[in-house]
Structure 1
Amino acid sequence: MLIIIIGVVVAVLVIGGGAAAWFLTRSHGDEEEGGGAPAARKEAPKVAPTFLPMENMVVNLADPGGDRFAQIGITLELEDAKTAEQVKLYLPTIRSGILMLVSQRTSAELLVREGKEKLAADIRREVSRPLGYSVPTERERARVAEAEQDGDAEDRPARKRTERNPVLRVLFSNFIIQ
């Protein structure tokens, strides 16, 4: 009688252990395949961005009479230090392009927030160009959005690279108009 009881207990333990192992490995496999909860998914580790300050620039503005100028300090927020090194290689070209962009603006444009945001977007495009990335203009973004609504994908502008642009933002550290 004792042998039968021990045999039943061992059988129950083996079956219970097998079932527990099956449930644990099944739920672990779901998480790896992306079927788990969103909080359980592994995300790419976040890396702190690199900031590259540029020298202040003094630029004549396109106001009538030509007596207004702007002093602008720019800091670039870049994805990593490798990108910062690449930007440094093209810095003379980038500075020249930024000076040309700012000199086309009037003080009235640059005094409002929207004008500064548009200038920052244009500067980001100017910095991204030598690195091989293209940033669409507002007009191109509007055209793409319109094409997506119409279901026409052929009007989309061609992109030079499909990866994420490493030039994250353009920050103004100094902005004086006189």
Structure 2
Amino acid sequence: MAATQTAPYKRRSLFLIGLLIVLLSVVSSAAVYFYLDSRGANAEPTTADEPAAEPPVPIFVPIAPFTVNLQSDYGDRLLYVGLSLRVNDQATSDFLSQHMPEVRSRLLMLLSGKSAAELIKPAGKIELKREILGLFDEPITTPQPTLSIDDVLFSDFIVQ
């Protein structure tokens, strides 16, 4: 008779455990939903009335391609390179265009001191970009406006 009296208690306790598991699942799901929803509410609201901000139009100063003799221990090595300079303002673009012979001369002097072995490697090209940007640290004329050059972009680069 004792076994029959404990059976309803077992059923009731199993029912309560199942109900507790379902209740905890619902509460945790609701908590996760509200947590994620509150994180999304903190983000800046975007409205359809405001047009998306357009990125500034980049200004490029192209430098005509040219060929340079490279330093080499065995035979003649050549570099054919075309590049452009990305600048921040029109004043820098105009200044570089007016002084393009000086810019090309500085580039030729820099490139003629390079070896083919160093320019073939990607790290050599990155170093060359840094050195080209460094050419503009020294003033071209006196007085010179502040030049705002962001990047050097290679359009042609052939080492032969």
1:177–1:101 distance in 2 versus 1, CA, 3 Å: same
Aligned with residue 166 of structure 1, among 148, 151, 156: 148
Q: Is the 8 A contact 2:102 2:140 kept in 1?
A: no
How many residues end up aligned between the 2 structures?
A: 109
Aligned pairs for 1:32-111 (under 5 A) are 47-111=56-120
Q: Which has the larger radius of gyration?
A: 2
CA–CA distance in structure 2, aligned partners of residues 48 and 129 of structure 1: 27
Coordinate RMSD, CA, aligned: 2.8
Structure 1 residue 49: Cα displacement: 2.0
Q: Please give the TM-score of this superposition, normalised by the length of structure 2.
A: 0.59
Report % sequence identity: 33
Q: Deviations over 1:46-97 (max 9, x none)?
A: 5322011110010000011341000000111010222100111221111111
Q: Please give the TM-score of this superposition, normalised by the length of structure 1.
A: 0.54
Amino acid at match of 2:114: R
Q: Which residue in the other structure is 2:34 paired with?
A: none
Q: Is the 8 A contact 1:56 1:73 kept in 2?
A: yes
CA–CA distance in structure 2, aligned partners of residues 129 and 56 of structure 1: 23
Q: Deviations over 1:126-156 (max 9, x none)?
A: 1353368xxxxxxxxxxxxxxxxxxxxxxxx
Q: Which residue in the other structure is 2:17 paired with?
A: none
User: Which one has the bigger strand percentage?
Assistant: 2
Q: Which residue in the other structure is 1:116 paired with?
A: 125
Q: Is the 8 A contact 1:57 1:71 kept in 2?
A: yes
CA–CA distance in structure 1, aligned partners of residues 136 and 83 of structure 2: 12
Q: Which residue in the other structure is 1:137 paired with?
A: none
Amino acid at match of 1:109: E
